[in-house]
A and B are shown apart, each in its own frame.
Chain A
């Protein structure tokens, strides 16, 4: 899989979470990539491991431009 295809998958996963009403609650970035915690309501949460550089740029853009 090319890096672009990997990114497209990650982007779709992020978009899907947002569509389902989740919001980005926490981002932990380390040498393995970014671990993005999505939360809906009080006790419904999920973590996406975003590995590609474009994927990490994508959720940053969402955070930055909708601040």
Chain B
């Protein structure tokens, strides 16, 4: 059995699976049951300024039979008194001393407010703090959450204020509602963050009802934008984690979240630079016990790969993630159709003919049987045919040896800039 223990900026946890700050971590009852089920850590539902919630709060986007492909909410932070939460945090930490209990915090962007709340939560024994600069609705209108989190100077300043009072590690949770998340991640690092976490939810409207014309969800006929999460946001979150992980000045650990639903997703986030993962939607959809599969799956994966510790996964794919200009223009793959597996549905032909490079021919053999064949010289290796193909193994994308060694766009432009004014004379 592999060693699943992790450490995020010194916050120790028996495994890399934490519950994200959200309804699953609303109370001591829930967090303790989650720890019993196997979760390694929990970021408590955000504590902060008094709020009131509305009903309804959630909506799901179903896609092709998947009930919760995406999840949308207009819920705010905790609506319970701070003292009640602190008492339950204390009791939880006492019962589970080896599990990670992190307090998520959101107050107005004022130094004394940050000092006050940091001191209060640290008194009850939390292992760390997560500053919620990400909530996209409700709190943002009051200058908190993503309204703070979109302005690098405010991220830096508030991180600094939290750090002034903090004894435990400070994680800064970032909003994805920004063009370049590395600018706010860097601001957090400048403010002294011990770690960053991402992503919070993405501004969204789940839908509009075709009969009532109400938004989904709506509150008595009125709607407001919410925050999107769940499987649909995973690619966005993974990119943001990767962009931060490969950024030279963001040199703090990352806690990754956004659509993590199983152990495979967790491995991806860790390979892309996350030291652990946080989960919300998948737990809300399937319950706390999904963590059993996550733990088993991760253990088996590591054992099969001969990897002793889950920590050895962290960042392994980061050097493989670069800018487009550094990709090899001479690398070439083409599609090959396996006619013994192909069911002749022609989806690849239609996709290629209508929307790609018209290189899949519909042919007939000597017995009049239809078959499909790729004209490899015209294939640009875009993958579309294999993406739309409904049968596993019917289309392989195979590598074709290039007649030239690697050359990137950046290298090409550099060499061309030398022959733009007619000065150079390099090829004979």
Contact = CB atoms under 8 A, between A and B. Distances in A.
Interface of A: 2-4, 18, 21, 23-29, 37, 39, 57, 59-67
Interface in B348-398: 357, 375, 377-378
B330 interface: yes
Majority SS at the chain A contact face:
mixed
B382 to A, nearest CB: 13
Given A26-B421, A57-B329, A67 B416 contact: no
B377 A4 contact: yes
B411 interface: yes
A64 B427 CA distance: 9
B415 interface: yes
A60 B412 contact: yes
A3 B419 contact: no
A60 B420 contact: no
Interface residues of B, number: 22
Contacts of B425: 23-25, 39
B404 A65 contact: yes
B426 interface: yes
Nearest to B409: A60
Given A61-B404, A63-B415, A65-B404, A18 B428 contact: yes
B219 interface: no
A25 B416 contact: no
Given A61-B330, A61-B407, A66 B416 contact: no
A23 B428 contact: yes
A25 B420 CA distance: 9
A25 B419 contact: yes
16 contacts: A4-B375, A21-B428, A23-B427, A24-B419, A25-B422, A26-B421, A26-B422, A57-B330, A59-B427, A61-B330, A61-B404, A63-B415, A63-B419, A63-B426, A66-B427, A67-B415
